[in-house]
Chains A and B, each alone.
Chain A
Amino acid sequence: MMRPGFTDPVLDAQSCFRAVLEAMSRPGRVQRLAAPLQPPAPLAPATAAVLLTLVDAETPLWLDAGDEAAEWVRFHCGCPIATTPAEAAFVLATGTPPDIAALPQGTDEAPEAGATLVWQAAALEAGQGWRLSGPGIEHEHRLRVGGAPEGFRAAWAAQRGRYPRGVDIILCAGEAIAALPRTTRIEEG
Chain B
Amino acid sequence: MAVLARAGGEAIRAHLADAAPLPPHTRLRGPETGLVMLRGRAGGDGAAFNLSEMTVTRCSVSLPCGAVGHAYIAGRDQAQAELAAVLDAALQDPARRPSLMAAVIAPLAAAQAALDKAEARKAAATRVQFFTMATMR
Q: List residues of A whose CB falls within 8 A of some B CB.
A: 1-5, 9, 75-76
Most buried by A among B29, B30, B32, B62: B29
The secondary-structure label for the interface of chain B is strand
Chain B residues bordering chain A, tally (CB within 8 A): 10
Q: When the two chains form their complex, are residues A75 and B60 in contact, meaning their CB atoms are under 8 A apart?
A: yes
Most buried by A among B27, B28, B66, B68: B28
Using a CB-CB cutoff of 8 Å, which residues 28-74 of chain B contact chain A? 28-30, 32, 60, 62, 66, 68
A2-B27 contact given A9-B32, A75-B60, CB 8 Å threshold? no
Closest 8 CB pairs of A and B: A4-B28, A2-B28, A2-B68, A76-B29, A5-B29, A1-B66, A9-B32, A2-B62
For residue B29, which residues in chain A have a CB less than 8 angstroms away from its CB? 4-5, 9, 75-76
For residue A76, which residues in chain B have a CB less than 8 angstroms away from its CB? 29
Most buried by B among A2, A9, A76: A2
Instruction: Name A4's contact: one of B26, B32, B66 (CB within 8 Å).
Output: B26
A135–B62 alpha-carbon span in the complex (Å):
46
The secondary-structure label for the interface of chain A is loop
Q: When the two chains form their complex, are residues B68 and A4 in contact, meaning their CB atoms are under 8 A apart?
A: no
A4–B27 alpha-carbon span in the complex (Å):
7
A5–B30 alpha-carbon span in the complex (Å):
10
Q: Which residue of B lies closest to A72 (CB)?
A: B28
For residue A3, which residues in chain B have a CB less than 8 angstroms away from its CB? 28
Distance in angstroms from A10 CB to nearest chain B CB is 9
Distance in angstroms from B43 CB to nearest chain A CB is 28
Beyond the given pairs A4-B28, A9-B32, A76-B29, 17 more chain A to chain B contacts, judged by CB atoms under 8 angstroms and listed by A's residue number, are A1-B62, A1-B66, A2-B28, A2-B60, A2-B62, A2-B68, A3-B28, A4-B26, A4-B27, A4-B29, A5-B28, A5-B29, A9-B29, A9-B30, A75-B28, A75-B29, A75-B60
Distance in angstroms from B65 CB to nearest chain A CB is 11
For residue B30, which residues in chain A have a CB less than 8 angstroms away from its CB? 9
Q: Which residue of B lies closest to A3 (CB)?
A: B28
For residue A5, which residues in chain B have a CB less than 8 angstroms away from its CB? 28-29
For residue B28, which residues in chain A have a CB less than 8 angstroms away from its CB? 2-5, 75
